């Protein structure tokens, strides 16, 4: 029984990559609005994927494909492309939905190319207008300055799309009952050309704020060195790196390598939380690349609010502990 | 060691982008153009590989209309040895939209085949459309192994060993034989600035033009381009400390997506 | 005191030895030839090093009048020598003037040896001259003795850690010359004493002459020439010529003027004394840079391929070259005409234009200028938002002035305040102005750091933008922008007329209301004061806002804030912070307010006051803010406004 929408989920270790169920939600929505059926795919070696496939079978799907082979025990682009191509040829879906993860970016374009298609990647919204023209997929251009609506054109081909993190909510996945089907791809070890090593973490020798995804930064508003504990707790709760504006490092309260600014590090995190920082230009030039800036300062006129996305005019000694508690709770 | 670096010329980051008259592309009339930043990192990696090896050739490649030659010259000024310009006839508002990733990758792959390099480098994604696919598609068309999000490259025997970035701060080494293609992550190296000496030397270097072999085509189509409805404004949160904290957590979880 | 003329004649008579026999004359002639010979032999390689150096392409003898004036004022009147170090300067001036006064004496002295003495001491002129020379001999003797004591006993640090033996020798020789002259007034003609004194005097002369080349006393010969030939403009940088010219990369790039100046350096150390880098513990020492060039030429000759920076000479290090704020205090006061800025910036050009300078912050600055067109790397959208918020009119060709915001005025919060206040002043005065829709950096930091590629691109783009917009007059809050557009851009074209906002406001000072603002200490920015001679206009504005107070080092002696030369954009300083040193000096005046006229100075002092200002630091305000404050008060009928 073939399904029109195939959702390729991604595993991480013994569990799921956090975006897998977002992609599943997107796939279910697309199938639902088009009146099509939806199937899920999990890939890896047979022993590892069995429990995951069973879990997936408890969702509202036509079926779950367990694509297993020993050569799929570790991810390689060659392995994934070959296996998925065979599955697609066999099951003939109209749409293949993937989460836009690092891994998908590594193999999905090659898979699409092999099938004469182009991946519509990093989709932020799916719209199914009335009529026969097919669904529209929205992507961002020019770093979010524009939205572009794409439609898959080729007749009889497969439409590949990957969805952006957070664009669809994992908790929107509908439960149900479906069956697990195994698919054994025919893979040739000689055709797997890359040899991946084990993932590792680098020893944190020096502080490299430039790669941090979340940064909590403290400025003169903190008052005294002893008060730093408040901000450190917040950083820990957020899983963030701690940074500071120059006066804090000058005073020796934090090491110089945590300084963000024109004479310190330049950072571009997803979230920059500026606590008690006024926003002098020397500091701004170091963090203006942040995707989202949240500023907490008691001075409503502080220049930091000009560039902040979310601002809180308040006493940081009240707001910060409350925030830490809310994150943990 | 011969390295081909494929670069793209994109509108300047801060450019005010307006939608074209037909509502399906970007109005190019007032735009200033520059080299795509991730490609600048790819170029830097290539130059450093050549410097480390002590010998070799770095060829920079770009597909596009006449205007991309300024970007190729910039690459030559920064140290590339030769430039290849695949000339696409489309210009104006259509240039960005006539060809999709597959089409452009075909043009580039054909030029690469002509060069027969050991390594092909390109940036992870482009600053304008940000699909991040051209490199991987090229690898598939060329039939060579590839790796993405590469931070460091090391020669290892007859092949290479690369360090690539995984999510959440994890890293991974991957080995593969040459020839291969790598897409380079930004920030791995420190970029170099263009020097007067570089520009003067660039004038003596070869820039070869070769017309695009095929006419433009697309597998998907872009129906509409528009500015997002939400305009960026500072959202001020009010209330008691606990209320603010709760609102902030909600935003961090669902809008900023860091929790 | 009246002395009988006859007695005067007798006691003011310079004793001459009896006529020499031929043998002695021959000996004398031989000695003179030998002395001249050694002098020439020692001078020759120096002359060769200078003449064989690359020609200065931007050299022109005109305007000759200006050169003659400089020669008169700086060499003959010793103006710079005296002004910057009054007491030792005056002593030196006496020695110099004494030298000139002694011209005839010396000539006559030698002539006497050949029986050809021409000064008739009996006559009116002769008598006058003997007295004249005697007075000078006394002044010189006292002065040289004083200078000797200063150098060898007092030991000021600017003269260097090591004691200069050669200086001692020269001082002794000069003293001996004067002593022998004075002594000859008290002995009889033809006496043995007269003969002895004559020969000692002669030997001193003959020994002195050959000593000159190869020591810093070469300035006796060279410095009048150096002052006459020096570049007419302050910090005048030559255009790079041809495809192989990247600045001062190696010896072959050193020009004749630079070589001449390197050999003229008198090692007085005044440049070092005034240098903000040297006085805050950094490696850079302007005197050592000049002497480093001299040593380089002595070791490698002109036309050498040996790279100048980092290896050739210890003082010529990359680190030192990039510690310069280009404040110009060195070049401005050099009494022998050494122009340090073209040398330092020339060295930077050689390093940057060839990519030899690899600095994290420098590269970041250049890339920001390349990509975003401003030194701060900010998005131009931020400037658009600011202009919209302040409701600045856009320049459309109909307004009188184009208000140039600059990088600081466009993006720095304090710079924006200053520009906004100046706009208020202009509006209050009814002046029509507009701002350009888009601005790119004038290229000042690129220029001072030696990046000619970037600077050229920005200059050309800027000139085009002004032409396209039809701008006739520009006014701006930043002295760096003024200097760069009015002077540095000339290499690429002529910019519209441009003035600094202090000049504009000074013209309208009578329309600015008087305030009782308390004491205000005005800090002269390097790029407004030394670079453009604008000292009085900002003071006129300050005077309307309160009571003007001067810092110890003010006007052309003003001490840099530390931001210039691109240094505001390069990471951490070593040693003491220049801005802190100056801030302390300004605070020490006890003034209630520090008045600035440059957004960079303002930015530096804002940080510095945070660190050294204590609990109640003085207020920091730009002159535009001072003027706007007065206008606001006036609008509120003298009551301070709500802020």
Instruction: Determine if the peptide bond prior to B255 is cis (ω within 30°).
Output: no
φ/ψ of residue C215, rounded to 5: -130, 175
Is C373 in contact with C407 (CB distance < 8 Å)?
no
- To the nearest whole angstrom, how far is the Cα of A179 from the nearest Cα of chain B? 32
Where residue B189 falls among pLDDT bands split at 50, 70, 90?
A: confident
Q: Is there a single domain that holds both residue A213 and residue A270?
A: yes
Pick the residue from chain B with its C-alpha nearest to A157.
B219
* Separation of alpha carbons C393 and C387, rounded Å: 8
Distance set, CA C451 to CA B189, C347, C360, C454 (Å): 22, 11, 15, 6
* Separation of alpha carbons B174 and B147, rounded Å: 8
Helix (H) or strand (E) holding C433: strand C433-434
Residue C224 structure tokens:
């009048």
* Separation of alpha carbons C364 and B190, rounded Å: 9
Helix (H) or strand (E) holding C290: helix C286-300
Length of chain A: 329
pLDDT digits (tens, 9 = 90+) for A245-282: 988 887 788 988 898 987 778 888 999 999 999 888 77
Asked whether the beta carbons of residue B236 and residue A107 sit closer than 8 angstroms, the reply is no
Asked whether the beta carbons of residue C361 and residue A263 sit closer than 8 angstroms, the reply is yes
Predicted local distance difference test score (pLDDT) of residue A323: 94
φ/ψ of residue C295, rounded to 5: -60, -40
Distance set, CA B183 to CA A103, B80, B146, C85 (Å): 13, 18, 8, 64
- Give yes or no for residue A211 having a pLDDT over 70: yes
Q: Is there a single domain that holds both residue A180 and residue A130?
A: yes
Q: Indicate the residue of B34, B190, B195 with minimum beta-carbon distance to C453.
A: B195
Residues 173-192 of B with CB under 8 A from C: 190-192
The mean of the pLDDT values for chain C is 91
Where residue C410 falls among pLDDT bands split at 50, 70, 90?
A: very high
**Quick check: helix, strand or coil at residue B100?**
coil
Residue ending a domain, among A129, A157, A191, is A191
pLDDT digits (tens, 9 = 90+) for C462-485: 999 999 999 999 999 999 999 999
Answer whether residue A40 is part of any domain: yes
Answer whether residue A196 is part of any domain: no
Task: Label residue C115 left, alpha or beta by phi (over 0 means left) and psi (-120 to 50 means alpha).
Answer: left
Q: Is there a single domain that holds both residue A179 and residue A246?
A: no
The number of distinct structural domains making up chain A is 2
Q: Is there a single domain that holds both residue A250 and residue A178?
A: no
- Give yes or no for residue B47 having a pLDDT over 70: yes
Q: Is there a single domain that holds both residue A43 and residue A158?
A: yes
**Quick check: helix, strand or coil at residue C371?**
helix
The mean of the pLDDT values for chain B is 90
- To the nearest whole angstrom, how far is the Cα of B77 from the nearest Cα of chain C? 11
| Chain B residues within an 8 Å CB radius of A146 | 17, 19, 26, 225-228
| CATH number for A249 | 3.40.50.1220
Predicted local distance difference test score (pLDDT) of residue C11: 53
Residue ending a domain, among A133, A156, A191, is A191
From A137, C221, A312, select the one nearest B221 (Cα to Cα): A137
Asked whether the beta carbons of residue A263 and residue C571 sit closer than 8 angstroms, the reply is yes
**Which residue range is the domain that position A133 belongs to?**
5-191
Where residue A204 falls among pLDDT bands split at 50, 70, 90?
A: low
Residue A80 structure tokens:
């994934």
Q: What is the mean pLDDT of residues A9-15?
A: 91
Answer whether residue A142 is part of any domain: yes
| Chain B residues within an 8 Å CB radius of C381 | 14, 16
Asked whether the beta carbons of residue B221 and residue A151 sit closer than 8 angstroms, the reply is yes
Sign of CA dihedral C18, C19, C25, C31: positive
Residue C533 or C124, more confident: C533
- Give yes or no for residue C111 having a pLDDT over 90: no
| Chain C residues within an 8 Å CB radius of A307 | 382
Q: Is there a single domain that holds both residue A165 and residue A271?
A: no
Could you tell me the strand order of the sheet in which A63-68 lies?
Answer: A120-123, A159-163, A95-99, A5-8, A38-44, A63-68, A179-183
Q: Is A282 on the interface with C (CB under 8 A)?
A: yes
What is the percent of chain B where pLDDT is above 70?
Answer: 96
Where residue C9 falls among pLDDT bands split at 50, 70, 90?
A: very low
Q: Is there a single domain that holds both residue A261 and residue A154?
A: no
Interface test with C, best of A252, A267, A281 (most C CBs within 10 A): A281
Give the CB-side neighbour count of residue B11, counting CA atoms within 13 A.
22
Q: What is the mean pLDDT of residues C401-418?
A: 95
Answer whether residue A199 is part of any domain: no
Interface test with B, best of C353, C379, C441 (most B CBs within 10 A): C353
Where residue C642 falls among pLDDT bands split at 50, 70, 90?
A: very low
Cβ-proximal residues to A49 (8 Å cutoff; 6+ apart), any chain: A11, A42, A43, A66, A67, A68
**Quick check: helix, strand or coil at residue A252?**
coil
Predicted local distance difference test score (pLDDT) of residue B92: 65
Where residue C572 falls among pLDDT bands split at 50, 70, 90?
A: confident
What is the percent of chain A where pLDDT is above 90?
Answer: 65
Where residue C175 falls among pLDDT bands split at 50, 70, 90?
A: very high
| CATH number for A117 | 3.40.50.620
Q: Is there a single domain that holds both residue A26 and residue A84?
A: yes
Predicted local distance difference test score (pLDDT) of residue A101: 93
pLDDT digits (tens, 9 = 90+) for B147-160: 999 999 999 988 99
Answer whether residue A13 is part of any domain: yes
Cβ-proximal residues to A324 (8 Å cutoff; 6+ apart), any chain: A230, A233, A234, A237
Residue ending a domain, among A158, A191, A224, is A191
**Quick check: helix, strand or coil at residue C634?**
helix
Cβ-proximal residues to C409 (8 Å cutoff; 6+ apart), any chain: C415, C416, C418, C419, C476, C477, C478, C599
Q: Give one DSSP letter per residue of B134-194, joined into a string.
A: HHHHHHHHHT--EEEEEEEEEEETTEEEEEEE-GGGEEEEEEEESSEEEEEPTTSSPPPPP
Q: Is there a single domain that holds both residue A31 and residue A145?
A: yes
**Helix boundaries (H) for chain A:** 20-34, 46-56, 77-91, 102-114, 228-238, 246-250, 281-287, 304-307, 316-328
Is C419 in contact with C451 (CB distance < 8 Å)?
no
Strands annotated E in C439-552: 473-476, 497-500, 519-522, 547-550
- Give yes or no for residue C639 having a pLDDT over 70: no
Predicted local distance difference test score (pLDDT) of residue C12: 60
Instruction: Determine if the peptide bond prior to B179 is cis (ω within 30°).
Output: yes
Predicted local distance difference test score (pLDDT) of residue C2: 41
- Give yes or no for residue C643 having a pLDDT over 50: no
Q: Which of A48-57, A74-83, B17-26, C27-36 has the lowest mean pLDDT?
A: B17-26
From C587, C526, C369, select the one nearest C457 (Cα to Cα): C369
Is B138 in contact with B104 (CB distance < 8 Å)?
no
pLDDT digits (tens, 9 = 90+) for C534-555: 999 999 999 999 999 999 999 9
What is the percent of chain C where pLDDT is above 90?
Answer: 72
Q: What is the mean pLDDT of residues B93-115?
A: 87
Residue A218 structure tokens:
């403290």
C446-459 burial code (b ≥16 CB/10 A, e <16): bbbbbbbbbbbbbb
Where residue B231 falls among pLDDT bands split at 50, 70, 90?
A: low
Q: Give one DSSP letter per residue of A11-63, joined into a string.
A: EETTEE-TTHHHHHHHHHHHHHHHT--EEEEEEE-HHHHHHHHHHHTTBS-SE
Q: Is there a single domain that holds both residue A14 and residue A139?
A: yes
Residues 302-361 of C with CB under 8 A from B: 352-355, 360
Q: Give, as one character, the DSSP assignment of residue C275.
A: -
Answer whether residue A200 is part of any domain: no
| Chain A residues within an 8 Å CB radius of C411 | 281
CA–chain centroid gap for C64, Å, is 21
- To the nearest whole angstrom, how far is the Cα of B132 from the nearest Cα of chain A? 7
* Separation of alpha carbons C72 and C386, rounded Å: 52
Is C339 in contact with C227 (CB distance < 8 Å)?
no
Is A146 in contact with B19 (CB distance < 8 Å)?
yes
* Separation of alpha carbons C583 and C604, rounded Å: 9
CA–chain centroid gap for A66, Å, is 24
Q: Is A299 on the interface with C (CB under 8 A)?
A: no
Distance set, CA C377 to CA A171, A286, B5, C561, C563 (Å): 41, 9, 26, 23, 17
Answer whether residue A201 is part of any domain: no
The mean of the pLDDT values for chain A is 90
φ/ψ of residue C230, rounded to 5: -65, 160
Strand partners, A180: A64
Supply the pTM of this predicted model. Answer: 0.86
Predicted local distance difference test score (pLDDT) of residue B25: 86
Residues 72-101 of B with CB under 8 A from A: 100-101
Interface test with B, best of A212, A312, A313, A320 (most B CBs within 10 A): A312
Q: Is there a single domain that holds both residue A16 and residue A134?
A: yes
Predicted local distance difference test score (pLDDT) of residue C473: 97
Residue B211 structure tokens:
């017309």
Residue A24 structure tokens:
């599943």
Is C222 in contact with C236 (CB distance < 8 Å)?
no
Q: What is the mean pLDDT of residues C279-303?
A: 95
Q: Which of A25-39, A151-165, C418-432 has the lowest mean pLDDT?
A: A151-165
Where residue C192 falls among pLDDT bands split at 50, 70, 90?
A: confident
* Separation of alpha carbons A287 and A273, rounded Å: 10
Answer whether residue A309 is part of any domain: yes
- Give yes or no for residue B64 having a pLDDT over 60: yes
3-state percent helix, strand, coil for chain A, nearest multiple of 5: 35, 25, 35
> How far does chain A reach from its first CA to its final CA, in angstroms?
45
Predicted local distance difference test score (pLDDT) of residue A145: 80
- Give yes or no for residue A90 having a pLDDT over 60: yes
Residue C297 or B91, more confident: C297
Predicted local distance difference test score (pLDDT) of residue C10: 45
Q: Is C367 on the interface with B (CB under 8 A)?
A: yes
| Chain A residues within an 8 Å CB radius of B223 | 136, 149-151
Q: Is there a single domain that holds both residue A228 and residue A293?
A: yes
Burial class of residue B177, CB neighbours in 10 A (0-12, 13-18, 19+): middle
Q: What is the mean pLDDT of residues C186-191?
A: 82
pLDDT digits (tens, 9 = 90+) for A37-71: 999 999 999 999 999 999 999 999 999 999 999 99
Is C486 in contact with C495 (CB distance < 8 Å)?
yes
Predicted local distance difference test score (pLDDT) of residue A203: 65
| Chain A residues within an 8 Å CB radius of C414 | 280-281
* Separation of alpha carbons C29 and C134, rounded Å: 27
* Separation of alpha carbons B228 and B226, rounded Å: 6
Where residue B94 falls among pLDDT bands split at 50, 70, 90?
A: low
Interface test with A, best of B164, B182, B217, B252 (most A CBs within 10 A): B252
């Amino acid at each position: 029984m073939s399904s029109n929408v195939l959702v390729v989920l991604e595993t991480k270790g013994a569990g799921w990559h956090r975006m897998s169920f977002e992609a599943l939600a997107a796939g279910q929505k697309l199938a639902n609005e088009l009146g099509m059926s939806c199937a899920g795919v999990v890939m890896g070696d047979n022993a590892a994927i069995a429990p995951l496939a069973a879990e997936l079978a408890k969702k509202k799907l036509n079926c779950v494909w367990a694509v297993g082979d020993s050569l799929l025990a570790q991810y390689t682009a060659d392995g994934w492309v070959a296996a998925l191509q065979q599955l697609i040829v066999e099951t003939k879906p109209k749409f293949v939905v993937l989460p836009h993860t690092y891994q998908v970016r590594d193999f999905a374009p090659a898979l699409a190319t092999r099938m004469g298609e182009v991946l519509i990647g990093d989709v932020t919204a799916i719209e199914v207008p009335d009529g026969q023209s097919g669904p529209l997929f929205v992507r961002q251009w020019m770093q979010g300055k524009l939205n572009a609506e794409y439609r898959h054109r080729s007749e009889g081909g497969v439409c590949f799309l990957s969805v952006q993190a957070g664009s669809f909510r994992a908790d929107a996945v509908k439960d149900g009952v479906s069956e697990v089907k195994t698919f054994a791809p025919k893979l040739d070890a000689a055709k797997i050309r890359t040899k991946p090593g084990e993932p590792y973490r680098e020893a944190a020798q020096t502080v490299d704020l430039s790669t941090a995804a979340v940064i909590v930064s403290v400025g003169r508003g903190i008052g005294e060195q002893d008060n730093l504990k408040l901000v450190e707790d917040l950083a820990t709760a957020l899983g963030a790196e701690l940074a500071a504006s120059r006066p804090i490092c000058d005073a020796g309260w934090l090491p110089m390598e945590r300084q963000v600014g024109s004479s310190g590090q330049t950072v571009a995190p997803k979230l920059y939380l500026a606590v008690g920082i006024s926003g002098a230009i020397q500091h701004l030039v170091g963090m203006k690349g942040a995707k989202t800036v949240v500023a907490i300062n008691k001075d409503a006129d502080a220049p930091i609010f000009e560039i902040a996305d979310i601002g809180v005019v308040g006493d940081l000694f009240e707001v910060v502990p409350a925030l830490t508690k809310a994150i943990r709770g | 060691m011969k390295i081909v670096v494929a670069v793209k010329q994109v509108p300047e980051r801060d450019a005010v982008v307006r939608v074209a008259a037909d509502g399906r592309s970007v109005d190019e009339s007032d735009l200033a153009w520059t080299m795509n930043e991730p490609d600048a990192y790819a170029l830097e990696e290539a130059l450093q590989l050549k410097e480390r090896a002590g010998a070799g050739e770095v060829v920079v490649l770009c597909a596009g209309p006449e205007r991309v030659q300024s970007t190729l010259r910039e690459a030559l000024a920064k140290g590339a040895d030769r430039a290849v310009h695949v000339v696409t006839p489309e210009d104006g508002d259509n240039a960005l939209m006539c060809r999709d990733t597959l089409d452009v990758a075909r043009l580039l792959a054909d030029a690469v085949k002509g060069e027969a390099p050991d390594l092909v480098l390109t940036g992870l994604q482009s600053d304008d459309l940000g699909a991040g696919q051209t490199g991987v598609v090229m690898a598939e068309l060329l039939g060579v192994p590839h790796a993405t999000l590469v931070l460091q490259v090391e020669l290892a025997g007859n092949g290479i060993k690369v360090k690539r970035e995984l999510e959440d701060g994890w890293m991974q080494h991957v080995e593969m034989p040459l020839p291969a293609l790598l897409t380079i992550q930004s920030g791995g190296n420190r970029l170099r600035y263009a020097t007067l000496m570089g520009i003067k030397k660039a004038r003596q270097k070869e820039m070869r033009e070769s017309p695009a072999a095929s006419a433009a085509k697309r597998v998907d189509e872009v129906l509409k381009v528009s500015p997002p409805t939400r305009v960026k404004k500072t959202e001020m949160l009010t209330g008691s400390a606990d209320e603010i904290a709760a609102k902030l957590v909600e935003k961090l979880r669902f809008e900023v997506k860091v929790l | 005191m009246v002395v009988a003329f006859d007695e005067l004649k007798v006691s003011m008579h310079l004793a001459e030895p009896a006529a020499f026999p031929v043998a002695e004359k021959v000996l004398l002639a031989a000695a003179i030839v030998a002395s001249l010979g050694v002098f020439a032999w020692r001078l020759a390689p120096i002359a060769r090093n200078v003449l064989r150096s690359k020609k200065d392409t931007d050299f022109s003898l005109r305007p000759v009048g200006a050169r003659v004036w400089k020669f008169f004022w700086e060499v003959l009147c010793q103006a710079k020598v005296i002004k910057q170090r009054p007491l030792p300067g005056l002593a030196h001036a006496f020695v110099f003037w004494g030298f000139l006064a002694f011209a005839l004496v010396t000539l006559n002295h030698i002539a006497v040896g050949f029986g050809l003495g021409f000064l008739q001491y009996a006559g009116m002129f002769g008598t006058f001259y003997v007295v004249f020379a005697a007075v000078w001999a006394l002044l010189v003797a006292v002065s040289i003795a004083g200078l000797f004591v200063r150098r060898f006993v007092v030991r000021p640090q600017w003269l260097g850690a090591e004691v200069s033996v050669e200086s001692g020798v020269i001082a002794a020789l000069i003293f001996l010359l004067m002593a022998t002259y004075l002594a000859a007034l008290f002995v009889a003609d033809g006496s043995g004493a007269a003969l002895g004194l004559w020969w000692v005097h002669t030997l001193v002369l003959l020994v002195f002459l050959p000593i000159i080349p190869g020591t810093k006393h070469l300035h006796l010969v060279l410095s009048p020439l150096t002052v006459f030939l020096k570049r007419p403009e302050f910090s005048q940088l030559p255009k790079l010529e041809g495809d192989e010219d990247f600045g001062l990369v190696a010896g072959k790039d050193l020009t004749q003027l630079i070589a001449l100046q390197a050999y003229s350096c008198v090692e007085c150390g005044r440049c070092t004394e005034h240098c903000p880098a040297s006085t805050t513990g950094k490696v850079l020492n302007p005197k050592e840079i000049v002497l480093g060039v001299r040593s380089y030429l002595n070791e490698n000759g002109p036309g050498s391929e040996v790279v100048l920076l980092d290896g050739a000479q210890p003082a010529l290090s990359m680190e030192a070259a990039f510690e310069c704020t280009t404040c110009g205090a060195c070049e401005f006061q050099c009494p022998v005409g050494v122009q340090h800025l073209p040398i330092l910036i020339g060295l930077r050009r050689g390093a940057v234009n060839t990519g030899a300078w690899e600095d994290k912050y420098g590269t970041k600055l250049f890339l920001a200028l390349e990509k975003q067109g401003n030194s701060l790397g900010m998005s131009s959208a931020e400037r658009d938002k600011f202009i919209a918020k302040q409701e600045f009119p856009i320049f459309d060709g109909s307004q009188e002035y184009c208000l140039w915001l600059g990088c600081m005025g466009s993006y720095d919060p304090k710079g924006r305040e200053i520009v906004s206040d100046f706009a208020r002043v202009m509006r209050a005065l009814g002046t029509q102005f507009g701002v350009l829709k888009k601005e790119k950096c004038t290229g000042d930091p690129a220029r001072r750091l030696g990046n000619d590629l970037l600077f050229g691109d920005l200059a050309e783009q800027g000139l085009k933008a002004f032409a396209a917009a039809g701008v006739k007059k520009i006014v701006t809050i930043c002295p760096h922008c003024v200097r760069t557009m009015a002077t540095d851009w000339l290499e690429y074209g002529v910019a519209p007329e441009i003035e600094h906002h202090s000049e504009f406001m000074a013209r309208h000072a009578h329309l600015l209301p008087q305030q009782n603002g308390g004491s205000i200490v005005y800090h002269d920015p390097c790029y407004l004061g030394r670079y453009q001679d604008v000292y009085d206009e900002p003071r006129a504005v300050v005077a309307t806002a309160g009571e003007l107070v001067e810092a110890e080092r003010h006007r052309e002696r003003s001490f840099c804030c530390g931001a210039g030369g691109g240094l505001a954009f390069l990471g951490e300083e070593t040693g003491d912070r220049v801005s802190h040193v100056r801030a302390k000096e300004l605070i020490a005046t006890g003034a209630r307010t520090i008045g600035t006229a440059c957004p960079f100075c303002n930015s530096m002092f804002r940080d510095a006051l945070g660190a050294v200002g204590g609990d109640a630091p003085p207020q920091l305000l730009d002159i535009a803010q001072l003027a706007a404050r007065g206008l606001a008060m006036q609008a509120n009928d003298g009551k301070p406004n709500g802020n």
